[in-house]
Amino acid sequence: MNPIEKHFHDKQPLLIYFVRHGQAESGEVDDPAGPALTKLGRIQCKAISKRLADEKFNMIYCSTLKRALETAKTIREHHESTPFFITPDLREVMSCHFTGTEASEKKEMAKHIAEERQTIDRFIAQIKADHKPGEKILMVCHGNIIRTMMPLFGGREPGKSVLMDIYNTGLSVLDVWRSGEAVLKMMNCVKHLSDDQTS
């Protein structure tokens, strides 16, 4: 990369699009991959897929859970040539990471929470190492992990950040700068859904 190109790239952030999965079936399911999407969830996925159809992504990441996979596969109908990586690192996490509350005093629960945080920190470090300024990536995952990751990308603790709702197929966009700062450009946007499609 010549000096002019390097200067241009250094002036651009890594752009991360976060999409929460479509509405999923409620209740307990006998499947480690979790519940599938509802009829409304599939409608929501079609809507976000259409909204993102003209975007150019360098990579699409997705949780291994069924509701996120179904959502990502619908989006990928417009991005068949985009590299697609399914990872357990994007599975749902406990809410205590961003609420700052203790989920349990039990030793096993505390261990589980610490392991989730280690996984998230490692994943964020890998994303920063693997992607260059100016690239655009998409992460299709879950509400709690999105709320947890967004402040961490900017070096801030989730429990000290503003807590926001994330609706099904809500779109959030984050600029991540080489300096370590992150700027939230869009949060939980559902303009692709009608009022009766929002959940």
Summarised one tens digit per residue, pLDDT across range 102-154 is 555 667 777 888 899 999 999 999 999 999 999 999 999 999 999 999 999 99
- Is the entire prediction scored with pTM above 0.75? yes
The two most distant CA atoms of the chain are separated, in Å, by 56
Token pair 């603790």 is found at 157
Taking residues 88-112, what's their average pLDDT? 77
Between the CA of residue 47 and those of 5, 32, 139, 198, what are the distances in Å?
Answer: 37, 27, 17, 11
Q: Is the pLDDT of residue 59 over 60?
A: yes
**10 vs 93: CA distance, rounded Å:** 33
**148 vs 117: CA distance, rounded Å:** 9
Strands 182-189 and 171-176: antiparallel
**126 vs 152: CA distance, rounded Å:** 13
Neighbour count for residue 1 (Cβ, 10 Å) = 9
Give pLDDT, residue 102. 57
Give pLDDT, residue 92. 93
- How much is the CA Rg of the chain, to the nearest whole Å? 17
CATH of 11-197, one of 3.40.50.11540, 3.40.50.300, 3.40.47.10, 3.40.50.1240: 3.40.50.1240
Give the 3-state secondary structure of residue 24: strand
Counting residues of the chain whose pLDDT is more than 90, the rounded percentage is 75
DSSP letter for each residue of 121-163: HHHHHHHHHH--TT-EEEEEE-HHHHHHHHHHHTT--GGGS--
**187 vs 183: CA distance, rounded Å:** 11
**27 vs 50: CA distance, rounded Å:** 29
**149 vs 90: CA distance, rounded Å:** 10
Give pLDDT, residue 96. 75
Sheet with 171-176, edge to edge strand ranges: 84-87, 59-63, 136-141, 14-20, 171-176, 182-189
CB 26 within 8 A of CB 175: no
